[in-house]
Amino acid sequence: MPCVSNKSLLRQVSSGLFMWYDKIKDTDPQIYEYIKSELARQQDGLEMIPSENFTSIAVMQASGSILTNKYSEGYPGRRYYGGNEFIDKIETLASERAKKLFKVPYANVQPYSGSPANLAVYFAICKPGDTIMGLDLTNGGHLTHGWKTSVTGQTFNSIPYHVKKDGMVDLEEVRKLAKDSKPKMIWVGYTAYPREFPFEEFSSIAEDTGAYLVADISHIAGLVAGGAHKSPVDYAHIVTTTTHKTLRGPRGAIIMVTEKGMKKDPDLGKKIDKTIIPGMQGGPHNHQTAAIAVALLEASQPSFKGYADQVVKNAKVLASSLMNNGITTVTNGTDTHLILIDLTPFGNGLGIFAEEALGAAGITVNKNTIPGEPSSPFYPSGIRLGTPALTTRGMKEAEMQEIGMLFAEVLNQIKDEKLPENKEEIQRHMERFRAEIKENPKIKEVRAKVLEISRRFPLYDEIELK
């Protein structure tokens, strides 16, 4: 079973994929051109947003299959529609593969994405107004973990916890907040936290307060599956994950209940099932379920362990390269696939400038808040980056050293930028900046180097859209 882990394995037979692209070209030339342009962008640049990855062609074929035609509300053997005998087999297989890979007794593979999956967990175990805890968004948490502008923060009594000045989770604060507020549920899981998740400590806090511990491992699911990060299964009651980040599958999600969760509430799986359908969703996306099954099979292969290990090795080397080249990182490094750069030594609110400048050089990252953000979530002072997609292309430590130096060259071009204090001026200033940075000689020089690196590690090089 092929598993995308290096450039030789990326060269898979794709005649079926060609067929679909040809049909799109005939039917909708405009969409075809956009797909063609996006393929070129991905092939000729460095995709370094840590929540993005490249799937295998097998996953893409399943995602684009005839399974999209079928309605299948309900669960295997309990559908509201006829003609689901093969869909039942596909969903059962996906669920069984998830249970085996993550070593859990229950898995629901129907959530459309990560946010709906997390919402389903809320409504399976909480009532509106119940107290919940999650990491503050500006400290690296996720919207659905109780942030004030999310429906989760508006529906439930959200008590956010934070990180310390060194960027590490403030476990003493978590313990005190949990003791004082007696939450029904505590989230452990982040979107911009570069260190290993402290599952054991959170488990102890949840036990002391009677809370459900829910581990959102969307970012690290592939690392957990490959043994490059500890598993939450012995510590949490429920585990949620997306399937398209380090797990390298389609855009979907899985909700899992652990043995510990079943002991706390033997009906927990049934409650989640009912919350998904009929509580929140209608027909599952069967093409997505099949693609999840394919990705789970790939993640169960021995080669995937090598991939997961290399993702972390690459991230550590990249973080070291960045710091050796004068770039500050939150927590001074990483344990995972993710790095958070702190741009405040250059100035506040420069994340948007860094994102634009790196993008002009062919390096895709995202602006992000840093702990103690001195600016705002709209104009933050950090950028978030990671190594999953680069590792899928076959890049290793030598490339990470090189890329770290390229980052420093680009970021040195923005260190004298200032974010206008007048909000009316920001848009005009950014328009001027975008135009100027594209013509910057150093940015053009880095862009040429990025193109050379990218072409040494071809992506889907058998797909050529003309």
Q: Residue 220: which of 383, 102, 99, 337 has the closest Cα?
A: 337
DSSP 8-state secondary structure symbol assigned to residue 275: I
Residues identified as active-site:
71, 73, 216, 242, 245, 251
Note whether 255 and 242 are within 8 A (CB).
no
What stretch of H or E contains 213? strand 212-216
d(CA 377, CA 380): 5
Both tokens assigned to 332 = 């001074």
Ramachandran assignment for 9, one of left (phi > 0), alpha (psi -120 to 50 degrees), beta (any other): alpha
What stretch of H or E contains 58? helix 57-63
d(CA 288, CA 64): 9
Both tokens assigned to 194 = 């570069």
Main-chain phi, psi angles of 414, to 5 degrees: -115, 0
Note whether 312 and 306 are within 8 A (CB).
no
Q: Residue 252: which of 55, 72, 14, 75 has the closest Cα?
A: 55
Q: Residue 34: which of 44, 24, 49, 20 has the closest Cα?
A: 24
CA 359 to chain CA centroid, Å, is 19
The DSSP code sequence of 128-195 is: TT-EEEEE-GGGT--GGGT-TTSHHHHHSEEEEE-B-TTSSB-HHHHHHHHHHH--SEEEE--SS--S
d(CA 161, CA 205): 13
- What is the chain's length? 466
In angstroms, the Cα distances linking 424 to 4, 348, 350, 429, 437 are 47, 18, 17, 9, 21
